[in-house]
Amino acid sequence: MKKTLVVRLDHLGDVVLTTPLIRALALGGHTVDVLVKQAFEPVLTHSPYIRECFSQEAIAPGFPKAWWKLGAWMREGGYNNILVPYARERRLCFASMISGADTRIAMWGGIWGRLTFHQCLRSEIPRPFSEILLRCATALEIPGQGLTPDLFLTDTERAELRARIPPAFRGRNLIGLHPGTAGNTCNLPGSVYAEVVQLLLDGTDCAVAVTGTEDEGSLIRDWPARVISSERVWVCLGQLTLRQLACAIAEMDVYICPSTGPLHIASAVGTPTVSPFCPVAPLCASIWGNVGSPARILEPTTCPRIRGEPCCCDFQGQITANQIVDQVIDILKSRVAKVPTAQIPQLP
């Protein structure tokens, strides 16, 4: 079997959206190792498609400055193929260049990818990001195995998360809300998300779990006290590990989530989503939308951003709390079932 290393040293969502590529490689007869940031190793835990997952901090703590250490480690690994699905960091290309691999593929490697003798790939046509990354598999003459991301949770993990859900939530539909995007895309103001929660509390019997990191506490700082203190609101910002967050998302009936990493976790675990989205490429839903479960997209009719300008805008009132809640209720009324976990394809 050919030994392949996939290197993905950026954000949570990008790692999740690389899992269809990993699956295709494994089912195509490759032994797959993956190198990611330490914080995102849990995304790949229990994957049957990965031989070993390494963290950049453990392998090459001086990267990107000491890029040659990463290249030396790659050479020691004896890889036949090095795949860098996002090679904008030129020193990834430098490290791969000295890896000794027979085939080296860099997506968006630009001039540095070409100068370091990589096969450089890119895609200008808006399409799901996981489909774009599968071009790496196509270049190795390996067929894709679907676009839905993978995230493997154990029954024990899910049971432990259920035990943490507040008692008042029992028997109610659980609506998740993730108000942050780390500034990577257009997003609604916190006041709109507060109104969403208030409408759900006043107009439905639903319970609401507010997810995010501890640093995102400022996003809910101005929410009304009656919202924050409601027994039907669980503010779990900074309280959940990455895998606990995935388990929580798997328990939700609907997840209100903009374009950010947890949206792709919802795609992997089959949770329906409602998402405000910028209509302008490269931030649009046709690239970054939920491809693994029922999804409702809310887009403004216009966006003050122009393609190529830095993000981000706040939709300038063109997406309202009522529109979001209407979509949530419509999903609940239609009783859209979560997409069942697919039969895991078996390795040859």
> Which CATH number belongs to the domain containing residue 16 in this structure?
3.40.50.2000
298/161 same-domain check: yes
Number of domains in the chain: 2
Tally of CA atoms within 13 A in the half-sphere of 73 that contains its CB? 22
146 found inside a domain: no
In whole angstroms, give the CA distance from residue 126 to residue 134. Answer: 14
Which helix H or strand E contains 321, and what residues bound it? helix 321-333
Q: Which two tokens stand for residue 192?
A: 């709109």
Burial 24-47 (b: 16+ CB within 10 A, else e): bbbbbebbbbbbbeeebbbbbbeb
Among residues 139, 174, 190, which one ends one of the domains?
139
101 found inside a domain: yes
| pLDDT digits (tens), the chain, 348 positions | 899 999 999 999 999 999 999 999 999 999 999 999 999 999 999 999 999 999 999 999 999 999 999 999 999 999 999 999 999 999 999 999 999 999 999 999 999 999 999 999 977 778 999 999 999 999 999 999 999 999 999 999 999 999 999 999 999 999 999 999 988 899 999 999 999 999 999 999 999 999 999 999 999 999 999 999 999 999 999 999 999 999 999 999 999 999 999 999 999 999 999 999 999 888 899 999 999 999 999 999 877 766 666 678 899 899 999 999 999 999 999 875 565 554 556 665
Task: Give the domain extent around 210.
Answer: 155-333
65/133 same-domain check: yes
- Enter the pTM of the model: 0.94
121/180 same-domain check: no
125 found inside a domain: yes
